[in-house]
Amino acid sequence: MNKKKRQAISLGGVLTVMMAFFITPITALAASVNYEKIGDYVSTWHVASLGGLHWTDDGVHMIKADNQPAFCIEHGVLLNGGSGFEPSELNGAEKERLSLISYYGYQISPTVENYGITQNIIWEEFGDTLLTTQLPNYANRKNEILSKVANHKVKPSFSNQNITLNVRDSVTLTDINNVLSKHGHLVENSANLQIEKNGNTLKLTAKADSKESGKLQYNMVPKDQVGQSFIYNKPGEQTVATFKLSNAGEMNLNIKVNLNGNVKLKKVDEDTGKSVPNTKMKFEYNGQTKEIVTDTNGLAQIDGLKAGTKVKITEVTASNGFVSKGESKEITIEPNKTIELVFGNKAQ
């Protein structure tokens, strides 16, 4: 991998595989790239860019570009390290796949073995043939990592759906793609729902203090793993790269909550403004009728009606000593509000 003891082999130009990338120059100070041997695991190869030349890596060498873990993307070229490396933005079709390999192979569990395994997978992605390796459990770990890479783009089966709930109602969503459990980072719950997440099921409940609309978002990876990937070049030196993901593996739901509201009326003496108890009032809404007698404070109230509900309120029977007007009023319930009405009667 990083062998000063090997004679450098001229490639006669930039690696053909590197032509797959779109490299965007950036204005930045030159970077430092260094490496150190961190493990004695030996791997042998046929290196594609060197015409299938047999190559031996005598250990695992950790590369760092400006103190950030980096990976070799030019196998078989010497790395002396030091300052004067020019960073450029790395874009193109293969960038995201290599970034995912870096994340699932090493970033989530940064051990010596995982660094070596990840580096070998990256070289295989560039067409090199791994002949032997002392890295433990390499074949199984490679399959695990590449499986996670493939699943990164798989979203829960209900992703991007529109969910409508009434206050205190719940819905349970089951992910038939079996990937919800991998979306462990709650990023947004702007509708303020109660959330119960268990494996590949998600239970959502609208609360009294929920918002009328919002978004629910879970990510597979933390936000700090999303960003720009860079390559580092210096004439006569190996090209290395640092990787960031272009997306966090998002799962989104659009939420609408049918919020509740209340209606309250007060019965008063038209002349004195004093409360009038014992007046029978009729509330009509959603095809049902409810009769309520005003209390000692002249109040009658219904709580927890869905926003948008139309309510017709009519006086049925006046309190003793008052003249019934048979007055009716109609209102529409508003979310998280109590609509207050006043009905008056004249004394007999």
φ, ψ dihedrals at 320, nearest 5°: -55, 130
Q: Are residues 180 and 104 part of one domain?
A: no
Q: What is the structure's pLDDT at 24?
A: 55
Whether 125 is covered by a domain: the verdict is yes
What number is the average pLDDT over the span 339-345?
96
Angle at 256 between CA 254 and CA 262, to 5 degrees: 165
For the ranges 7-11, 39-43, 294-298, the lowest mean pLDDT is seen at 7-11
Domain at 171, CATH number: 2.60.40
Q: Are residues 20 and 150 part of one domain?
A: yes
Q: What is the structure's pLDDT at 208?
A: 84
Bridge partners for 292 per DSSP: 281
CB 157 within 8 A of CB 251: no
φ, ψ dihedrals at 5, nearest 5°: -75, -15
Q: How many CB atoms lie within 10 A of CB 71?
A: 23
Q: What is the structure's pLDDT at 18?
A: 43
Segments forming the whole domain that contains residue 326: 260-345
Residue 339 pLDDT class (50, 70, 90 cuts): very high
Per residue in 141-186, pLDDT (tens digit) is: 999 999 999 999 999 999 999 999 988 899 999 999 999 999 999 9
CB 320 within 8 A of CB 278: yes
The set of residues, in sequence order, having a beta carbon less than 8 Å from that of 176 and lying 6+ positions away, is 157
Per residue in 195-242, pLDDT (tens digit) is: 999 999 999 999 988 999 999 999 999 999 999 999 999 999 999 999
Q: Are residues 28 and 80 part of one domain?
A: yes
Pair of tokens at residue 267: 């019965």
Q: Are residues 238 and 99 part of one domain?
A: yes
Query: pLDDT averaged over the chain?
Result: 91
Q: Are residues 171 and 143 part of one domain?
A: no
Compute the half-sphere exposure of residue 94: CA atoms within 13 Å on the CB side of its CA: 16
Among the listed residues 149, 211, 346, the one whose alpha carbon sits nearest the alpha carbon of residue 267 = 346
What's the length of the chain? Answer: 348
CA distance 112 to 107: 11
Q: Are residues 307 and 180 part of one domain?
A: no
Number of domains, the chain: 3
In the predicted model, is pLDDT for residue 9 greater than 60? no
Q: Are residues 113 and 81 part of one domain?
A: yes
Q: Are residues 137 and 40 part of one domain?
A: yes
Q: What is the structure's pLDDT at 92?
A: 77
Helix, strand, coil percentages for the chain (3-state, nearest 5) = 15, 45, 40
Whether 143 is covered by a domain: the verdict is yes
Q: Are residues 235 and 268 part of one domain?
A: no
Domain at 307, CATH number: 2.60.40.10
The DSSP annotation for 215-260 comes to EEEEESS-GGGBS-EEEEE-TTS--EEE--BS---EEEEEEEEE-E
Q: Are residues 228 and 213 part of one domain?
A: no
